[in-house]
Structure 1
Amino acid sequence: MKTDKQLQQDVNAELQWEPSVHAERIGVEVKDGVVTLAGQVDSYAEKWNAERAAQRVAGVRAMATELKVHLDGLSARTDSEIAASVENVLEWTTVLPSGAVKVLVEGGWVTLSGQLDWQYQRQTAADAVRNLMGVTGLSDQIKLAPSVSAAAVKSDIEAALKRSAVADAKNITVAVDGGKVTLSGTVVNWAERETATHSAWGTTGVSHVTDKMTVAY
């Protein structure tokens, strides 16, 4: 098991390795395996990439983010300009039904709502918005419509975990209530945890996934 100092060094190294992040502006603190990122970034996309980079490091049990998005004069945009850009990019995204996603912008923070059939559609919408100029944050409130029985959802998720070769799939418990899925148990790293949640979201009928899994190194 890594010490907090070793984990801090590894997270710093991963941030330095990530080309989309200005690592010198980001401070890293670690206590009992919990990583805290603090500092200032130039865009919401950079903040997102810094968080993802830290999560890739083996030994990270949890993460807190105190990164602030600061936009300079060239990047700053009005809420109406951002809203127009978001609506345009969503309209040009072929996997999204026209008008299915609603957009609200306040202080540069974008909230997406509405209803879609699949998680990959919801993820596509969020990915399209995240990199737009002027965006300071993103709330994904898009709902998914359940369409199959709880028993079928549970069976499909467990089969998907086996196909994905999750090493500790037997240690992951899948609980289903309507279209809501709760994953609990232990995984060996963040990548395995992400595979498990991706498998759950990729199952027809899932409208919400709660991740209660813990990383046990």
Structure 2
Amino acid sequence: MTVLAATLLSVCTPASADPAHDARLEGSVQTALSLNRMLNPFRIEVAVEGPRARLSGEVENDVERQLAEHVALATRGIEQVDNQLRVNAELVERPLELRAYAQRLEDATLAAVIRARLLWSKITEKAAIEVQSNEGVVTLRGKVDSAEAKELAGVVARTTDGVHLVNNLVSLDTAAMAKARETPVDVPSGPQPSDSWVVDKIENSFRFSRNLDVLNIKVTSDHGMVRLTGEVVSSEQKSIAVDIARQIIGVRGVDADLLKVATKVEG
């Protein structure tokens, strides 16, 4: 093959030769747009080719147009965005059911986040707790085998970003409480999860918490012995981080000696 032919072939070949990878990236961008409370009412179409995403559709104003581009760029694997979104001010008159649908989607996401956090906790992993959210007001129902599990369920819900109010209607199951007393506290109920699983669940719990600046906290684990390093803005944040990490399944201990509290600089 001549140099000229090779050059022409490279120009004519699409930037991406992996349609499956493009489809996964497209799904990731679409999900990120759908989960954004400002953007989820709008029908935004996404097409991905290699590291480039194309956005098309209509939004109400230029703020939302730029936000959609930022959300797409924040998706791992996307390096360029062809923003073809059109601004249509008349969308403010769109049927209210679309806004209602967006709220239902947000409530469903919020409830799913809380359920996941409860499943990751060694205290509530097996608790039959029903989670419902209505415009950020969360209701918990079900029965648990300890007062600690009931209290933790309320704490997990209250500290989840996006929750405005929690109705903790979880009740105590006396028969299950009596059976639970026969099992020593902190006895593992299953195989030890991998360190990568433990780190992932701690980091996600931090990310879903409204009380933490997670960008400055690094989490590592060695056979369930967790170390937190970095910096937080207050001793309260440090305590919250330790408490969240300590109750994750598979965590045997938490070392936070290197998680420093930022020193305030007098201006």
Please, what TM-score do these two structures have when normalized by structure 1? Answer: 0.35
More strand by share: 1
- Bigger RCO (CA 8 Å, 6+ sep): 1
Please, what TM-score do these two structures have when normalized by structure 2? Answer: 0.29
More helix by share: 2
